[in-house]
Amino acid sequence: MNRASFFSPQAGRVIDAPRQMRARFAIGDIVRHRDHDFRGVVFDIDPVFANSEEWYESIPAEIRPLREQPFYHLLAEADDSSYVAYVSQQNLMADDEGGPVDHPSLSQIFEDYRNGRYQLRRSLAH
């Protein structure tokens, strides 16, 4: 398989990844975690795991996700808090709840909520 490399600020190193990896979700999509009670808006996607080794090793081995899958950066909300989450594709599903997400950083990245998803600010699109 054809491979490419990119620098990950979270990992502090260059990450080797397949040139083509199929992401199930897109920037602006609202998703929900399969096992934990939170939902969020996708604001960035890594083609494979691209966080620190400490972060990866902190996940119990029996539930640790595979590295070779997309990982999503989310503006997440739970009942009592808002935060940024980093979640593997295998642990996400489309959000059936519908409706907007309540996160204080949304307006910095997204313009509008339309048709069940957020529109990326034009100034941030490449």
- pLDDT of residue 126 exceeding 60, the answer is no
Phi, psi of 50, rounded to the nearest 5 degrees: -145, 45
Provide the token pair at 115: 């048709």
Provide the token pair at 24: 């199930």
Range with the poorest average pLDDT among 54-63, 100-109, 115-124: 115-124
Contacts of 22 (CB under 8 A, 6+ apart): 70
Between residues 105 and 16, the one the model is more confident about = 105
Q: What is the CATH number of domain 23-120?
A: 2.30.30.390
Query: What confidence score (pLDDT) does residue 98 get?
Result: 75
∠ CA 54-24-100, nearest 5°, is 90
Distance (Å, whole) CA 76 – CA 122: 22
Q: Give the ranges where the chain is alpha helix by DSSP (H).
A: 53-57, 106-109
Beta-carbon neighbour count of residue 125 at 10 Å?
Answer: 8
pTM exceeds 0.95, yes or no = no
Query: What confidence score (pLDDT) does residue 96 get?
Result: 82
Residue-wise pLDDT tens digits, 66-90: 998 999 999 999 988 999 999 999 9
Residue at 64: amino acid letter: R
Range with the poorest average pLDDT among 28-32, 86-90, 115-119, 120-124: 120-124
Mean pLDDT for the chain?
Answer: 88
